[in-house]
Structure 1
Amino acid sequence: MPSPTVIILPGWRNSGPGHWQTLWADSLPSVLRVEQDDWVAPVRQSWVARLSETIEQAPGPVVVVAHSLGCITATHLPPAIAQRIHGALLVAPADPERRGVLADFAPVPYQRLPYRSILVASSNDPYCPVRTAGAYARAWGSEFVRLNDAGHINVDSGHGPWPLGLALLQSLGAEVPAGSRLAEPVDGAAYSSPA
């Protein structure tokens, strides 16, 4: 089977220069990046439609790499589109029920995802309590990776190329070229399988 296309799905306000999503989009093979019409005032219907269009552009199976509100967007996909997903790396999910500008994405779906997923969350993410992220992981059937004091897992929290994320992406079947900095897990990472 050919390597899946990697779909980079940024969250609210996009992922700018230096963000690991941007660095990966610039360096990994077979990548499509989702571009939303409005990054500041997100509307669920249009964000889900844009993700669906991007997945449909891919020639075969895809691995979705979502950050923040992108994680929640992916869980709202219609079943016919979700079937194209081979796996998903869901990083630092948002909590739309706690932030008014994201309220259109609530309620968050709490059903098992029809593909393998890994959810990575931080013990001190200012946008989503780790307890909420853990509840998402249980509901979605995601493998759960808990990082200690990693903030929102973005540029502001010191995450550039993020080798641990690349290793997790590779475990989902995505092609990560030899020579990419795949390092051992970050200190304080705790891993658990879905319940």
Structure 2
Amino acid sequence: MTSPRILLLPGFQNSGVGHWQTLWETQFGDLRVEQHDWMQPLRGDWITRLEDVVQQQPGPVLLAAHSLGCHLVAAWAAVSGSTAKVQGALLVAPPDVTQPNFPPQLHRWVVPVLNALPFPATLVASTDDPYCSFEAAEKLAGHWGTTVNNIGARGHINANSGLGDWPQGRALLLNQK
């Protein structure tokens, strides 16, 4: 049986130096799904790119999404014919796209896709994420049919959260399969 390929799905503005996704890419050879435009993300373009990358993989995949990448997973899963290739997903710090101060360049994302995901997934949320309350994250998890992992007060669960290469997150992802 082929080991699943881990696809990294960064959010708005990509994941920079010190971010757990970047560290996973460097240390483990995970594949970052590069988007055409990280600064003006168009939902349809991002969905198409993810579909292309999933179809290119010879075997199963695991999805490791951060921030807007979580909404990408939900939007992609609602329209893709390739979801059977996904063994599981880790959805980390999804933003509340309905909040009034959501960045205007993300206007294509303000109506969230709330369908249940057709594969196992864990949503990891922080109690002090400036982009999403824990309660809003729990609601997203309910819609998406995911389990919720409360990571405590870790902000947006990014490079500023002090997680390093975040072995606990990797374990959560690998336990999805």
Q: TM-score range by the shorter chain?
A: over 0.9
**1:84 & 1:2 partners in 2: Cα distance?**
12
Percent of aligned positions with the same letter in both sequences? Answer: 44
164-173 or 112-121, which deviates more: 164-173
Which residue, 123, 127, 146 being the options, matches 2:127?
123
Q: Do structure 1's residue 101 and structure 2's residue 102 form an aligned pair? A: no
Separation in 1, partners of 2:82, 2:45: 15
For residues 81 and 96 of structure 1, the distance between their equivalents in structure 2, rounded to whole angstroms, comes to 25
- 2:51 matched residue in structure 1: 52
More displaced, 33-42 or 77-86? 77-86
Deviations 1:48-71 (A, max 9, x none): 111111111111111000000000
* Aligned mates of 1:58, 1:79 — CA distance in 2: 15
Secondary structure of 2:48's partner?
helix
Task: State the secondary structure of the residue aligned to 1:66.
Answer: strand
Give the equivalent residue in structure 2 for 1:110: 114
Give the total of aligned pairs.
Answer: 172
How far did 1:14 drift? 0.4
Alpha-carbon distance, 1:123 to partner: 0.5
Q: Flag as ranges the 4+ runs of structure 1 deviating above 4 A.
A: none
Gaps of 5+ in 1: 174-195
Counterpart position of 1:181: none
Retained in 2: the 8 A contact 1:71–1:90?
Answer: yes
User: Which residue in 2 is equivalent to 1:14?
Assistant: 14
Pairwise mapping of residues 1-195 of structure 1 onto structure 2 (< 5 A)? 1-29=1-29, 31-77=30-76, 78-98=79-99, 99=102, 100-173=104-177
Listed as ranges, the gaps of 5+ residues in structure 2 are: none
* Matches of 2:174 and 2:60, distance apart in 1: 15
The letter of the residue matching 2:68 is L
Higher helix content, 1 or 2: 2
Q: Post-superposition shift, 1:101?
A: 2.5
Query: Partners of 1:97 and 1:42 in 2: how far apart?
Result: 16
Tell me how far apart the structure 2 counterparts of residues 55 and 3 of structure 1 sit (CA, whole Å). 14
Check 1:50–1:79 CA distance in 2 against 1; reply closer, same or farther (3 A cut).
closer
Query: 1:167 is matched by which residue type in structure 2?
Result: A
> RMSD of aligned C-alpha atoms?
1.2
State the Cα distance separating 1:172 from its structure 2 match.
1.8
2: CA distance, partners of 1:102 / 1:96: 9
CA separation in 2, counterparts of 1:157 and 1:132? 20
